[in-house]
Amino acid sequence: MALSIIRHPLAQHYLTHLRDETTKPALFRTLARKLTTLLTLEACRSLRTAMLRISTPIEELWSPVLDADLVVVPVLRAGLGMLDAVVDLFPDVSVGYIGLERDEVTAEASAYYHKLPSLQGRTVLLIDPMLATGGSACKATATLRAGGAARVVIVCIVAAPEGVRRVESLHPEVAIYTAALDRGLDDRKFIVPGLGDFGDRLYGTN
């Protein structure tokens, strides 16, 4: 497994303001979208390209275009805050959804919904802001691989070492792209220092 921490100054600037408890939902949503754009650009560096013959106003030439069959799958609900950024970058991307709910006592994830396009042989960007225990990421990854996905890439805002280790143990082939590897989990299995409940902050709920 490859863990990539995006340390671009602008990514870290956005992350700082996402962490700030005084950041209001409207700005939080904007920052989440901007940071997801930077993370996704890095996560897609290895996408396959093909050469296309085109004509510029001056001459003809062979030029690269994307040749990757890409799917993006947000984990509901918080992953929806990252979805628009990916769709903006890849307007033709196929979109699936996986609904997972964390038990507040056990911190284990249980599935309540999924709707997926054909995954056979395709690259899937699994987007979920927080990689905490790794339970949701591993359950979602297992679903995607069972559906035929050739490659799964996890894109998250913040990760905890516990979650990274769990993904590495159960799905060593999966790459993870994040803006920060935080200190760890508290007794409620929240990432520390983290940024709180991403879904609540995204939508102004509690």
Catalytic residues: 102, 106, 197, 200
Report the alpha-carbon distance of residue 97 to residue 140 in Å, rounded.
10
Tokens of 150: 């050739």
List residues bridging with 100 in a β-sheet: 111
Q: Is 144 exposed, middle or buried (0-12, 13-18, 19+ CB in 10 A)?
A: buried
Measured CA to CA in angstroms, residue 153 lies from 126, 180, 200 at distances of 6, 16, 25
